Amino acid sequence: MTTGSELDTWTAALGAAVSMRATRDPDQVHPPCLFVGVPDVVQSPLVGGNIIDIPVYVVAEFTGKQALDAVLDALPGVLAATGQTTAVHDTLTIADTPYTAYLVTVPIRLDTPS
C-alpha cells in the first residue's frame, strides 16, 4: 500500500464518519466539504511507518454568518472523528478562490509504503 492510497482511504473514512463529502483533490473542493491538504510535517521514526500532520479543512459553502454557522455545526463531529480538540478559523484559497473554513490538524501514523 502506498502513502497516497492510505491517505485516500483515511479521507474516505473521515468523510463517511461525519457524513460529509471529503477529498484530497483541490479541483474537487465543492463546499460544503472536507478538504484534506498536503501534510505539513512528516516524521519518520526509526521503527514503523511515518507520522504525518494532516491539515483537514472544514470548508463552508459561502461566506457570512449562515455559512460559518453550518461549519460550526459540523465541527464537533469532525473533531470527534479525528480525536482532536482544537480547530482554528482559517481561509482556504484554491485557484484564487478564498473559502471560509476551519482547520483541524490531525497527526496520523501510516504504515511504511511497500
Please state whether the predicted TM-score (pTM) of the whole model is above 0.85.
yes
Q: With bands split at pLDDT 50, 70 and 90, how would you rate the model's confidence at 36?
A: very high
Residue 34: burial class (beta carbons within 10 Å; 0-12, 13-18, 19+): buried
Q: Say whether the peptide bond before residue 32 is cis (omega within 30 degrees of 0).
A: yes
Convert the pLDDT of each residue in 84-94 to its tens digit.
Answer: 999 999 999 99
Among 3.30.70, 1.10.3470, 3.30.519, 2.60.40, name the CATH number for the domain at 3-110: 3.30.70
Assigned C-alpha cell, 12: 474516505
What separation in angstroms does the CA of 110 have from each of 11, 40, 46, 60, 65?
13, 15, 14, 29, 37
Is the Cα torsion angle 76, 21, 37, 48 positive or negative in sign?
positive
Residue extents of the structural domains in the chain: 3-110
Convert the pLDDT of each residue in 39-63 to its tens digit.
Answer: 876 777 666 667 889 999 999 987 7
